[in-house]
Every structure is written in structure tokens, then in C-alpha cells.
Structure 1
Amino acid sequence: MHLVIIGGSDAGIAAALRARELSKDVRITVLLADDYPNYSICGLPYLIGGQTPDPSKLAHRTTFPDIDVRLRHRVTAIDPAGKSVSIERPGDTTELRYDRLIVATGANPVRPDIPGADLPGAFVLHTIDDGLAVLDAVRRHRAGKAVIIGAGYIGIEMAEALQQRGMHVTLLSRSDEVMPGVFSEIGAMIRERLTTEGVEVVTQAGVERIEQGMVVEQRLVVFTTDGRRRPADLVILATGVRPATDLARDAGIALGEGGAIAVSDTMATSLPDIFAAGDCAVTHHRLHGKPTWISLGTIAHKQGRVAGENAIGGSRTFHGIVGTQSLKLYDLVIARTGLSDIEAREEGYEPLTVEIGAWDHKSYYPGATQIGVWITGDVKTGRLLGVQMVGRAGAEVSKRLDIVAAGLFHGIDVDALNDLDLSYTPPLSSPWDPVQRAAQDWSHAAARPG
């Protein structure tokens, strides 16, 4: 059997490795459009910020035993009837036949539909080459000005990275607050932290256009809807990504939510012998059971592993997601999982959210800091729906959230969090962990009349 995989990032390499683990006989070929197999795209802000100065350290692995990884092999078409793919490579074109195919083409960055978004000096950040281009611009404009359009995860991480490089950074958000996926109180904390470090944060700021400036080295000017002109030595377009599915669509593979490739829970597509995984494929949310699309490395690794196993004859299933994410900003950690109250209401739940503050460990032991916990449950059934947390680095915010993510995955009630046998020692926690304290407060609030 010849297994061909299009794409060599998280999902593609995970698929190849799993297939090789299970079979020594299958022939595995991975086709990459670039030179960077299995590199951590999530690490780009730390490359640019200087925490990881060597780009090669972003590679999850550098060897792929008994896997034919072909660099600079861009797939231009899939022929399902002939079971082959067309490839452009340096100097020529060719075709490659397959018995089973995995499409792991990932996602493409969105360049906003505004005049000037394609000017030199306006960067997206999605590939290693993107990161190296931004890093080169940063080095050429030390102590210069940067404007970031978009205040989601990437925009916020890049604000820190560029500020730490000595640039004057302006972060533009179209929403009322930064990071609109979290509760507004958490967004306000993020904005305050950025402002404290000298980042100019502008909310409710749409961008009308970007123009070439009249200064040396192609300086840009960003025009915003508040009538301001903001000069910039570089502009970061952090306005999201969309699934890279042109190849699949042109081959007749059915698409689903968000334009991503529709897949079963075995990662099979609508066409025989073709699977898909990662940022190009849909997933399903365990809290509402509907197909959804979200671009996360954690999902890509898991889906890739399932696709790799099933492409060589396995029967593994992918069990979906609960929407778990985290972010570190300076010494602040923000994490969320599940549904917010707004999202829960849209799915037909009757949500109640309770906020508490709790010490990360016993206050009599030095270094205790406060953690904020927002817990959401369904008052009709008591079902746990989601948690958002914020606290200082070192308070184990992200790992505490994983307790909730595990509970959500298995559909537990809010009150069931109190039954979990969690670890305790005064320097690290309390007899009742902050997650459990929040669950208790939620249960009391839900039991009150009215």
C-alpha cells in the first residue's frame, strides 16, 4: 500500500508517524510545499520576541525514519478517479499515485479586504517563512512603530513579542474589548496588562485602508475609522485563518462547516480512500454535537493520528473537542474551555455563570496569588458547560483548566467537580482547589429561588 499525505505540519506528520508505528510495510510519502516539516507555527511569536532565537528549535522533530518526506513538492491537483496527485517541484512537474490519501493542507491566513493589505511591510503570520520575514523587518526597524490589526490570540502574542523587541506597538481591535472569545472582565485585564507595558490598545477601531508612506524604507500609514493616521514601519495582519480546501473542493470532496472538509469520526471524506485531518477539516463539539471548525494544533495532532491509523485499515474514531485554549501574556495566563454563557444560550441551554477569586495555594505559604474563575453551568440540568480562568504564571492556571476540560469531555455536572480526588499540599493548592470552590459557589447560586 502507498499512503500519500498532502501537508507536513501537525496533522500530516502525526498521520505519517501513526501509520508507521502500526505498519512497517506500508509505503508513506509526505508532500510539503515548503522546507519546514513538523515545525511549531505556535512558536513564531517567541521566535520574533527573542525567547527562541534559533528557528530550527521550532521543529517538533528533525528525523522521520522510513517516511519519505519530500520538501518543495506543491500539490496542484487531486485526481480521485486515477488515484493520483499532480505536483509542482523545483524545475518540473510530476504525478504520484496513491492507494490511500490524507489531505492535511491546514489553513491559510486571511488578508482583510481593505485597500493596501497586500503592500510590502504588511505581514500575515502563519508559516515559518512568514515568521522569518517579520523577524527580518523587526531587525531592520529597531525602536520603530508596529501596528497590529486584530486582537485575538495571535495579535495579543505579537503585541508582546514586538514590544519586547523595543518597538512602539499599537494593537487595533474592532470589538469593544480585546480577545472577544473571553468574558469582558478578562479582556479588560488583558488590555490593562498590555497598556502597563506600553502597548497602545485601541478598541472599536476599524481599518479603512493602508497606504504607502512618503518616508524611506517603504513606511506605511494605517487609516482607522476614528479618523486617525497611524504611521508604521511594519503592519501585522492578525485577522484569522480559513481552511485551505481549494484542492479538496476542486477534486469533488464535500465541504462542511466553515468551508472545511467534511469528515466522519474516522476522518474519512466523502470520497473513497481519501481522509482529511487538521486545520482543513471539520470537527464536532461535544457540548452541542454539531459540526464545527476551529484551528488548533492540539486538534490537528489528534485528528492526524486517527487518520493515519484508519488510512492503513484501522477503525479508530476521533471523539471531538470541548474548545480548550490558553494564552500567556507577560506574567498573566488566560485559559478557557467549553462554552461561555452567550454561546450556551445560543445552543439552547439555560446558563448561569458565577465568578470567584481564590488563592492558587494556601495564603500562609509565601507567593500565593489570586486566580479568577468564571464557571458556567446549565441551571435546568446542572451540567457543566465551561470555565474561564486568569491568574499569574506559576499558578497552574492552564493545568487547572485541564481538570475542567476532562470533566466537560465526559459530560459531568458542575457539582461533580467536588467529587474529584485532586492533589493538595499547602505550597501548591488548598484542600478545595479553586476549580472546586467555583463549583460550590455555582451550586449555591443555582439553588437560590428566582
Structure 2
Amino acid sequence: MEVVIIGGSDAGIAAALRARELDPSAKVTVILKDAYPNFSICGIPYYLSGEVANWSNLAHRSREHLEGLGIELRTEARVTSIDTQGHRVQYQLRRGSHEDVHWDRLIIATGAAPVSPPILGLAAAQQNGRVYFVHTIDDARSIMDAIQRMAARRAIIIGAGYIGLELADGLITRGIAVHQLEALPHVLPTIDPEIARLLEPELVAKGVELATGTLATSIETTGTSVRVALSTSNTDRPGLAIGDIAIVVTGVRPETGLAVAAGATLGAAGAIWVDRRMQTGIEGVFAAGDCVITHHRLLGETYLPLGTTAHKQGRVAGAQAVGNSGEEFDGIVGTQVVKVFGQVIARTGLTEQEALAAGFNPASAITVADDHKRYYPGAETLTIKITGDRSTHRLLGVTMLGSITSAIHKRIDVAAVALSTEMTIERLMDLDLAYTPPLGTPWDALQIAASQWLGEIGASDRRPNGIGSLHDRA
């Protein structure tokens, strides 16, 4: 069995590892266009901050380790075409020569590419060495080189999604001033606005010059700076942001060109359509990762590129490629978390607007609760928004903000399990969760939020309905 995988990031390497695990006799070849197999793209902001000392530390596994597992790596190789009739992949090496390889099973894991926003002069400014996208290890190394070479003191970040905020945190940590622009009215566009806006004071307090509702309309470089012209609804006069370097982080789009040319069908957001076995509909061809659609437990088919999802999809694709037809991708609920300075914000499931668009009858309640017993030193408050269905009380989504010490990531994981098992909000209150005064409260903060939802929206005679009735116990 010859398995060829196009792409050497999360999905591609997960597929290779699973295929070799299940069939040690399989010949597994991974073709990737750069020289960095199995590197953590999610770790780039922490390399730029200096918290990760060397870019090479971002490797999940070394090349030697992967090859020791029997995986053949063909790096710095750009795939040019897929022959589905002759079962061959053609690629071009960086040195210019053309080669091809035969496959019995093919896995497309080409990932995603950065979205280039319609900013006048962006392409030219990028060529001048002061404007960067951040998506690959080469990008990270180029940005670090520019920061050091210019002794950069001020950066402009265009975009305030997850990566944009992590970059703001990282550059401030490094001692670089940050001017951050977001076209929408609040940071983190995929988070409930009421919760996302609560994070903005943390950014400002840490020194970020934040401008929401602000478009970058044009960009130019000089010998000593980069200048971004701004348009904002807050003033009739155009503004100007000036920095040593600018970084553009305005989202990604699925890389589908090779798959489409091979005959693959596209689905949500123009991503490659796959079933739960990661089959594309082309005989012997699978796909996984940021280039494919995602099966969401509440939405059905959607596009939500996440590293955790790519690992799982890749694992299924690798199993299917070597004939283990019993493995399927079980779907996601969209769990995400990000640390921004001393705060952590997380979500899982649907926002209220997403739930409404999906045909549910949603209602939400916002709760402020302690992360552990107030009498034990260091207690912090967290803010939780619960969204549930008015008719069935089914939990639909949770958004949460709190201190880095408040175990936000673990509490959102509890909510993710509840969503995955289609719990009602009453059942969420029934969960037997751990308690000790330094770490929690007898009714966990998430359960206090559930109680408030029931009291405000779906009064139940099974549990006390007011948040106050739960706060003072034990």
C-alpha cells in the first residue's frame, strides 16, 4: 500500500502517523512545500514574544523522529498536479527539477492561506520588507529577522481575531508598542459581543492602542516606516497609523486549487467537501484539515479551521487510507480559547445569533461568579454567557471570560462535553464537578450560570432558580 499525503502540518502528519500505526507495511510519503514538517503554527506568537527561545522549538516532532517511524518526507516540493487516473502526484522541487510519485491512496491536507484584505498598496508594501502576513514558520522567521534588524519599537496589527490578539500580547511582552486595528465594532468577531467587549479594557491597560470599527484603506512604506491610512465611523477625518512594521491577520481561506483540479466538490465557505470518513467522492482520495469542511454537531456542514480539528480529521483520513473503515470523524462543537495578557476568553457551541440563524429558539443569560470561594485568598470573578433553547432547554452555547488563574479552559471543556452529549441546562446543573475552596465553589461557576438561565428564562422546579440561592452554599 502506497499512501501519499500532500501537506505536512497538523492534518498531514496526523494522517501519516495513523496510517503507519495501523499498517506498518504501508509506504507513507508526505510532500510539503516548505522545510518544516509537523511544526506548531499556533506557537508563532510565543516565538515572536521571546517566550519560545528558538523557532526550531516549535516542532512537534523532529524530521529524524518522523523518518524513524518510516515516514518519507519530501520537503520544499510544490505539488503541481494530481493524476487521478494514473494515480500519480507531480511536484517541483525548489531547485527546479520535476518529479512524481505513485499512490494507491491519496490524502489532501493543503491547509489554508491568509486572506489578503482589499488595502490599496498592500502587495507593494509587502515586497518592501515592512509588511508581513503570519501563517508559516518562514513568515515567523522573516518577522523576527525584521524586528531585530530594524530594532523595531512600534508595530501595527491589522486584525483583532485570535491570532491578532495573541500577537498583540506577544509584541507588547517583547517591548514593542502595538497599534491594533479591527474593522468590526469589537475584537474577536466570532465571540459574543457582550463578552468580547469586556476584554478590550485589558488590551488598553497593557498598552495596546486599540481602534475598533476602523478600516485600513491604504498602506505604504518609506525608508524608515510603514504608514497605514485609516477610515473610521468615529470621525469624518481619515486617520494614520505609523509603525516600523505591520502584520496582517485578517483570517484564512481553504487551499483547494489542487483538489478542485482533480475533481473534488466544494462545500461550505468554498472548502473541500468530505464525508465523516474524510472521503472526497474521488475514488481513493481523502482530505483533511483546514482545507476541508467541518461537521458541526449543532450546525451540520460548516467551515471552522482549528488545529484540534485538523489533528482528528487527519487521524481518520490516515486510518481510512489503509483500510480501517470503522473510524469516522465524530464532529465538533467549535470549542476555542485564547489567552490575552492576564485574561482568558473562550467559547463553545453557538452564539445567540448563530443559534437563531440555525433555527433554534435561543435565549441567553449573563452571570458573574467567583472562580473559587471568596474567603480563600486570590478569588477572581468570571463572566459567563449561557445560551439555551427556550423550548427544550437544550444547551446551545457558552462564552466565558476570566483571569488566567480561573481555569477558563477547563470550564469551557465541561461545557463542550455537555454540548457534545446534547445536555439540557438542568442536566448541566446535575453534573458532579470537583470542589475544594482554593479551586472552586460547591456549585461551580458554570452551574451558577445555568441556575441563572433557568431562573430568568426557563424556571424549573427541580433546582433553586436564583443565582443568589447557589452562591452561599458551603
> TM range, normalised to the smaller chain?
over 0.9
Aligned to 1:95: 100
Q: Please give the alpha-carbon distance, in whole angstroms, between the structure 1 residues aligned to 2:104 and 2:249.
A: 38
The residue type paired with residue 78 of structure 2 is: R
Confirm whether residue 188 of structure 1 aligns to residue 197 of structure 2. Answer: yes
1:381 match: secondary structure: coil
Q: TM-score, normalised by structure 1?
A: 0.97
Aligned to 2:432: 421
Alignment of 1:18-417 (within 5 A): 18-62=18-62, 63-64=65-66, 65-89=69-93, 90-118=95-123, 119=125, 120=128, 121-213=130-222, 216-217=223-224, 219-226=225-232, 227-289=238-300, 291-315=301-325, 316-417=327-428
The residue type paired with residue 313 of structure 1 is: G
Q: Please give the alpha-carbon distance, in whole angstroms, between the structure 2 residues aligned to 1:421 and 1:235.
A: 48
Deviations 1:414-447 (A, max 9, x none): 1111121111111111111111111111111123
The answer to whether the Cα contact below 8 Å between 2:195 and 2:385 also exists between their aligned partners in 1 is no
- Shift, 1:231, TM fit: 1.7
Q: Please give the alpha-carbon distance, in whole angstroms, between the structure 1 residues aligned to 2:315 and 2:185.
A: 39
2:290 match: secondary structure: helix
Deviations 1:98-151 (A, max 9, x none): 000000000001111222212121111000000111111122333522111111
* Percent identity between the two aligned chains: 47
**Between 131-140 and 332-341, the greater mean CA deviation after superposition:** 131-140
The residue type paired with residue 126 of structure 1 is: H
- Shift, 1:302, TM fit: 0.2
The residue type paired with residue 354 of structure 2 is: E
- Shift, 1:198, TM fit: 1.1
Deviations 1:224-278 (A, max 9, x none): 1140122221111111100011111111111111111100110000200000000
| Change over 3 Å in CA distance of 1:143–1:97 after alignment to 2 | closer
| Change over 3 Å in CA distance of 1:94–1:271 after alignment to 2 | same
Q: Please give the alpha-carbon distance, in whole angstroms, between the structure 1 residues aligned to 2:221 and 2:39.
A: 33
Q: Please give the alpha-carbon distance, in whole angstroms, between the structure 2 residues aligned to 1:406 and 1:276.
A: 26
Deviations 1:198-217 (A, max 9, x none): 1100111111110123xx34
Q: TM-score, normalised by structure 2?
A: 0.92
**Between 51-60 and 161-170, the greater mean CA deviation after superposition:** 161-170
2:311 match: secondary structure: helix
The residue type paired with residue 102 of structure 1 is: I
Q: Please give the alpha-carbon distance, in whole angstroms, between the structure 1 residues aligned to 2:16 and 2:264.
A: 21
Q: Please give the alpha-carbon distance, in whole angstroms, between the structure 1 residues aligned to 2:308 and 2:77.
A: 25
- Shift, 1:161, TM fit: 1.4
Q: Please give the alpha-carbon distance, in whole angstroms, between the structure 2 residues aligned to 1:309 and 1:29.
A: 15
Q: Please give the alpha-carbon distance, in whole angstroms, between the structure 2 residues aligned to 1:141 and 1:389.
A: 39
Q: Please give the alpha-carbon distance, in whole angstroms, between the structure 2 residues aligned to 1:347 and 1:101.
A: 34
The answer to whether the Cα contact below 8 Å between 1:143 and 1:168 also exists between their aligned partners in 2 is no
Q: Please give the alpha-carbon distance, in whole angstroms, between the structure 1 residues aligned to 2:347 and 2:241.
A: 33
Q: Please give the alpha-carbon distance, in whole angstroms, between the structure 1 residues aligned to 2:74 and 2:227.
A: 41
Q: Please give the alpha-carbon distance, in whole angstroms, between the structure 2 residues aligned to 1:28 and 1:228.
A: 54
Confirm whether residue 433 of structure 1 aligns to residue 444 of structure 2. Answer: yes
The answer to whether the Cα contact below 8 Å between 2:5 and 2:107 also exists between their aligned partners in 1 is yes
- Shift, 1:348, TM fit: 1.3
- Shift, 1:411, TM fit: 1.0
The answer to whether the Cα contact below 8 Å between 1:177 and 1:184 also exists between their aligned partners in 2 is yes
1:447 match: secondary structure: coil
Aligned to 2:16: 16
The residue type paired with residue 231 of structure 2 is: T
Q: Please give the alpha-carbon distance, in whole angstroms, between the structure 2 residues aligned to 1:244 and 1:378.
A: 36
Q: Please give the alpha-carbon distance, in whole angstroms, between the structure 2 residues aligned to 1:140 and 1:425.
A: 51
- Structure 2 alignment gaps of length 5 or more: 233-237, 461-474
The residue type paired with residue 285 of structure 1 is: H
Q: Please give the alpha-carbon distance, in whole angstroms, between the structure 1 residues aligned to 2:17 and 2:31.
A: 14
The residue type paired with residue 360 of structure 1 is: D
2:46 match: secondary structure: helix
The answer to whether the Cα contact below 8 Å between 1:102 and 1:277 also exists between their aligned partners in 2 is yes
The answer to whether the Cα contact below 8 Å between 2:152 and 2:245 also exists between their aligned partners in 1 is no
Deviations 1:311-350 (A, max 9, x none): 1101211011111000001110000000011111111111
Q: Please give the alpha-carbon distance, in whole angstroms, between the structure 1 residues aligned to 2:221 and 2:151.
A: 20
- Structure 1 alignment gaps of length 5 or more: none
Q: Please give the alpha-carbon distance, in whole angstroms, between the structure 2 residues aligned to 1:332 and 1:212.
A: 34
**Between 114-123 and 24-33, the greater mean CA deviation after superposition:** 114-123
1:279 match: secondary structure: coil
The answer to whether the Cα contact below 8 Å between 1:142 and 1:167 also exists between their aligned partners in 2 is no
2:447 match: secondary structure: helix
The residue type paired with residue 194 of structure 1 is: L
Deviations 1:355-377 (A, max 9, x none): 11111111111111111111110
Deviations 1:65-115 (A, max 9, x none): 111112112211111111111111124101111000000000001111222
Q: Please give the alpha-carbon distance, in whole angstroms, between the structure 2 residues aligned to 1:143 and 1:6.
A: 37
- Shift, 1:409, TM fit: 0.9
Deviations 1:21-46 (A, max 9, x none): 11111110011111111000000000
The answer to whether the Cα contact below 8 Å between 1:142 and 1:165 also exists between their aligned partners in 2 is no
Q: Please give the alpha-carbon distance, in whole angstroms, between the structure 1 residues aligned to 2:198 and 2:150.
A: 30
